[in-house]
Amino acid sequence: MNPSKQVIYRKDYQPPHYWVRSVDLAFLVNQQDTIVKARMVFEQNHEASGNDLFLNGVDLDLIHLAIDGTELPEKAYEKTNQGILLTDLPADFTLTTEVRIFPASNTALEGLYQSGAFFLTQCEAEGFRKITYYPDRPDVLAPFTVTIIADKEKYPVLLSNGNQISSGDLADGRHYTKWLDPHPKPSYLFALVAGTLAHIEQSFTTSEGREVALRIFTEKNNIDACDFAMQSLINSMRWDEERFGLAYDLDEYNIVATDDFNMGAMENKGLNIFNTKYVLAKQDTATDQDFINVEAVIGHEYFHNWTGNRVTCRDWFQLSLKEGLTVFRDQEFTADLQSRAVKRIEDVRYLRAAQFAEDASPMSHSVRPDSYMEINNFYTLTVYEKGAEVVRLYHTLLGEEGFQKGMQLYFKRHDGSAASCNDFRRAMADANDVDLQQFELWYSQNGTPQVYVNEIYDAKAKTHSIEFRQLAPPNHQGDGPWQAMHIPVKLALYDPSGQPLSLNEQGDEQLIYELREAQQILVIRGVEQEPVSSLLQSFSAPVMLFRQITPQQLAFLMKHDRDEFNRWDAAHQMQAQIIMARYKAMLQEKSYSCPDYFLESFRHLLLDQHSDPALIAEALTLPSLKSMTNQLKDVNILLLHEAKEWLVKHIVQSLEVELLSVYNQNFSTEPYAVNSTQVAKRSLKNRCLWYLMQGGKKDMARLAMEQYHQANNYTDRMTALTLITHQQVPGFEDLLGEYFTEWQNNALVINKWLSVQATIPSEDTLHRVKQLMELPVFSLKNPNAVRSLIGAFCGANVTRFHASDGSGYQFLADQVIALDQLNPQIAARLVSLFNDFKQFHSETQEAMREAMQRIHSVQGLSANVFEIVNKALNQA
Ligand code: TRP
Ligand code: ZN
């Protein structure tokens, strides 16, 4: 089999035979090609016996290779399309190499590639091997010195990691810059940028007194949209000092924004590279959510400087060590700066819809996977989001102080080196002197743990017993049997008047009850009347909790729970119950009408004047189909969609007056600002408008038109445009046309325009999508455009993607096959949209399987796409 399609196992990890003591790189950047010269000092690793060395290298034209100054003849080493094997090496030696690469024709956006008027790199996870021969593995750390030489006029900006130590002019109109990154780092954190870019600059003085130059680079036409990102960077630096005691460690912090990027952003040491989507943000072109996302991603990459860069990963199986931890840190950053409850609700909503689905899919894997074929396929929701939940578990169990003690010990032990998930767990346990043995299961067991609850109130004994039973997830993998996990359940009990009960002798009204056994019973004494329990408050563990709960109890919790998250969750559960009841009735062709208590509690929510409007907006947002289907089999997705639509219609018909009045009350007349008060009001107002528009009435369409034309901000404008377009209000085509004319030179704004159209719930949408693909603003080579058009159609337009004629599946298969030739990483992301196929009833499943089979049979498929379809088809 093709060597790039081999499965790699975690258990096969071997330490490197050689360390790299220093790397010197020189880049001669030209339009047609780039020459890369390397000088690397190697030293044998005495803890691993071996005097051979494998240098990864892919798509490189080797010009020269010498050891200690002596050119090696070709027969002196073994060269394949994956790299070079050197044997019989001395204990210490210097290797010099020279290669030629072709960045301008690199469409995979990995290694060195071109974006508009500049060249840039993306090395994580294994892109450095497309730049030069090197032991491209995260446990080999070295200080890098980088010299970049290029034409001064065409490439005025030349950046790399660390601090710039010199620069100057050369002959023939060329110039150079030289960079030193003193912090030893693995090759995946290398970065280089060369070309024409504008920038803004500020300075920040760290708590240690270091003055740092902060710069953000973009193409000139975007330079006026970088100020918010700059402020976010400053906020991140300050927050990490205040909450974690961590300060920045170089004299420069550079960020470069590009329109051509496979993911969100990359934490390269001292030289972050960002998707423009997470840098550019201005009032007339960014939604409130866009602003919050920019702040979160800027924070995320900045926080990696300690969790990822100063302490990195031993191997890629440990990816969650940096990603789970850094997501946890960015979540806390957003929670501290914005609304904690809203952030928690949104994160859990996402986890339940997407990560739980991944956990139930053929791609299910543990937070620390045991094997992979293509590592890029494991930058997953499980590694990132569930990984963050696992870090949050330590925080829940140890408290802020204990958690920070663990962090300090972790840095003390591992700063400047490559660590494992076990190292992190040990630091948390040792710093707090607690036993976290069982916690290992959070890293090793795949699937979503299931917890069943049974409650008994004994009126005579005045006790309330809560029995918890842990059950293995249905798709448990691995050799041994599934084992019970260590699960903290945060809980409270309320008396019938809504007062919290004291739960123990100390009088605590909230407890963290730790599950460790497959079955455990918590008994609360002195309970005078049958209580209502609030379990798994703030979503204290990433599990599915199953309990019998009546609509009356849910309504009670919606009113009385002190935990804002669980108040929301109660509303959410009640909504899911109603949609499911309607769906089941439809399946059996029975009737089911919406119970009065539901509308009553919905009205109560809507008219609640005391709660944060942002929380109300969350509570009024019905559960996604994804979050409802991931425990089910045989789902008729179109019918389930219909059941949800029915509930929406019912709500609008019954509560139109209330919705309209809340809409009007939350209209802000203040000048626009992205502060939590305004953001909250806008989200509630726009949620109301969303409901009102689903009723399909003319005067509501007029309301949306008014909002579109009068809005002083992009959130309101975009919400109105989306609703008008999705309802196909007469005149919507004209609005879309005007919008295009106004914004055709702004890629991010045009991408939103593409998404709005891709998600129209109408028969001709696929046709429209195919037409939009012909426009010059769309290119299969641009990941943002692909995600905005193809991704939105297949991932967010349920009725059209799942159209009963199978046209949606055929379309996705065609696009995956075409894209795989250009950009395997993005093709693999797209093909993953088939991964939930096993939840659907047999006809749907069959049609999706056929489309995957067609992809599977393509010759020369990338390892990326192959791994995913192969898993799906083999496990079906
Ligand atoms: N490490 C990056 C982050 O989470 C993400 C990343 C991984 C990435 N692989 C990538 C970004 C490839 C771009 C391309 O912040
Ligand atoms: Zn990250």
Q: What is the pLDDT of residues 821-834, one digit of tens each?
A: 999 999 999 999 99
Q: What is the pLDDT of residue 630?
A: 83
Q: Is residue 782 part of a domain?
A: no
Domain ends where: 695, 726, 755?
Answer: 695
Annotation says 242 is catalytic: no
The per-residue pLDDT for 363 is 97
Q: Are residues 174 and 230 in the same domain?
A: no
**Does one domain contain both 516 and 586?**
no
Give the distance (Å) from ligand 2 centre to CA of residue 302.
9
> What confidence tens digit (pLDDT) does each residue in 258-311 have?
999 999 999 999 999 999 999 999 999 999 999 999 999 999 999 999 999 999
Which is it for strands 544-546 and 450-458: parallel, antiparallel or unpaired?
A: parallel
Confidence tier at 2 by pLDDT (50, 70, 90):
low
Would you say the CB of residue 266 lies under 6 angstroms from ligand 1? yes
Mean per-residue pLDDT over the chain, rounded: 97
**Among candidates 94, 100, 91, 28, which has minimal Cα distance to 62?**
100
Ligand 1 close to Cβ of residue 273 (< 6 A):
no
Residue 352 lies in a domain: yes
The rounded percent of the chain whose pLDDT value lies above 70 is: 99
According to the model, what pLDDT value does residue 668 have? 83
Instruction: Kindly tell me if the per-residue pLDDT of 625 is higher than 70.
Output: yes
Look at residue 479 in the predicted model and tell me its pLDDT. 82
Residue 1 has pLDDT above 70, yes or no: no
492 and 619 co-located in one domain: no
Percent of the chain predicted with pLDDT > 90: 98
Q: Is 374 in the pocket of ligand 1 (CB under 6 A)?
A: no
Amino acid at 780: L
Omega of the bond leading into 125 within 30 degrees of 0 (cis): yes
Which residues contact residue 2 at a Cβ distance below 8 angstroms, ignoring those fewer than 6 apart?
Answer: 863
853, 870 contact by CB (below 8 A) = no
CA of 379 to the centre of ligand 1 (A): 8
Question: Mean pLDDT across the stretch 532-561?
Answer: 97
Ligand 1 centroid to residue 606 C-alpha, Å: 40
211-239: per-residue pLDDT in tens? 999 999 999 999 999 999 999 999 999 99
346: domain range? 318-547
Q: Report which of 176, 180, 168 is spatially closest to residue 142, judged by C-alpha positions.
A: 180
Q: Is residue 748 part of a domain?
A: no
Region 858-863: mean pLDDT is 97
pLDDT at 210 over 70: yes
Q: Same domain, yes or no, for 494 and 537?
A: yes
**Calpha distance 790→202 (Å, rounded):** 38
265 lines ligand 1 (CB under 6 A): yes
Question: In this structure, are 454 and 568 located in the same domain?
Answer: no
In this predicted model, what pLDDT tens digit does every residue of 773-791 receive, in sequence order? 999 999 999 999 999 999 9
Looking at the fold, whether 487 and 594 belong to one and the same domain comes out as no
Q: How far apart are CA 718 and CA 728, in angstroms?
A: 15
Q: Domain check: are 141 and 224 in the same one? A: no
Which of 151, 176, 196 is the C-terminal boundary of a domain?
196
619 lines ligand 1 (CB under 6 A): no
Query: Are 329 and 430 members of one domain?
Result: yes
Instruction: Please report whether residue 4 resides in a domain.
Output: yes
Instruction: Determine whether the shortest distance from the Cβ of 301 to ligand 1 is under 6 A.
Output: yes
The pLDDT of residue 478 is 85
What is the strand order of the sheet 198-205 is part of? 198-205, 211-218, 252-258, 271-275, 265-266
Q: How far apart are CA 339 and CA 342, in angstroms?
A: 5
In the chain, the amino acid numbered 288 is D
The tokens for 63 are 């010009």
Sign of CA dihedral 842, 845, 851, 853: negative
Classify residue 433: in a domain, yes or no.
Answer: yes
Q: How far, in Å, from the CA of 378 to the mean position of ligand 1?
A: 11
Give the number of domains in the chain: 4
pLDDT at 145 over 70: yes
Q: Taking the CA of residue 559 as centre, how many other CA atoms within 13 Å lie in the half-sphere pointing to its CB?
A: 17
CATH classification of the domain holding 678: 1.25.50.10
Task: Write the CATH number for 507.
Answer: 1.10.390.10
The pLDDT tens digits of the residues spanning 32-54 come to 999 999 999 999 999 998 999 99
As a whole number of angstroms, the distance between CA 647 and CA 638 comes to 15
Q: Which of 343, 340, 329 is nearest to 301 (CA)?
A: 329
Q: Which ligand is nearest to the CA of 329?
A: 2
Distance 632 CA to ligand 1 centre (A): 32
Of the bound ligands, which one is closest to the alpha carbon of residue 826?
Answer: 1
Q: How far apart are CA 792 and CA 795, in angstroms?
A: 5
Q: How confident is the model at residue 876 (pLDDT cuts 50, 70, 90)?
A: very low
Average pLDDT on 603-621 reads 96
Examine the domain organization and report whether 115 and 65 are in the same domain: yes
Residue 463 lies in a domain: yes
Residue 5 confidence (pLDDT): 85
Looking at the structure, tell me whether residues 595 and 611 fall in a common domain: yes
Q: Which of 32, 38, 191 is nearest to 112 (CA)?
A: 191
Q: Do 221 and 260 fall into the same domain? A: yes
Task: Catalytic residue, from 301, 332, 358, 618: name it.
Answer: 301
Side-by-side strand order, sheet with 83-86: 53-56, 83-86, 78-80
The domain boundary, picked from 547, 580, 610, lies at 547
Same domain as 658, residue 581? yes
Decide if 734 is inside a domain.
no
Task: Report the distance separating Cα 568 and Cα 617, nearest Å.
Answer: 10
pLDDT in tens, 349-386: 999 999 999 999 999 999 999 999 999 999 999 999 99
pLDDT at position 356 is 97
Per the CB < 8 A criterion, the answer to whether 322 and 304 are in contact is yes
**Helix (H), strand (E) at residue 265:** strand 265-266
Question: Which DSSP state fits 514?
Answer: E
Query: pLDDT at position 4, please?
Result: 72
Ligand nearest to the CA of 321: 2
Residue bearing the CA closest to ligand 1, atom 1: 266
Q: What is the rounded distance in angstroms from the CA atom of residue 541 to the CA atom of residue 487?
A: 6
Q: Check pLDDT > 60 for residue 766.
A: yes
The CB of 342 under 6 Å from ligand 1? The reply is no
Is there a domain that residue 655 lies in?
A: yes
Which one, of 78, 185, 91, lies nearest residue 137 by Cα? 185
Pull the structure tokens for residue 686. 């726009």
Give the CATH number for residue 216: 3.30.2010.30
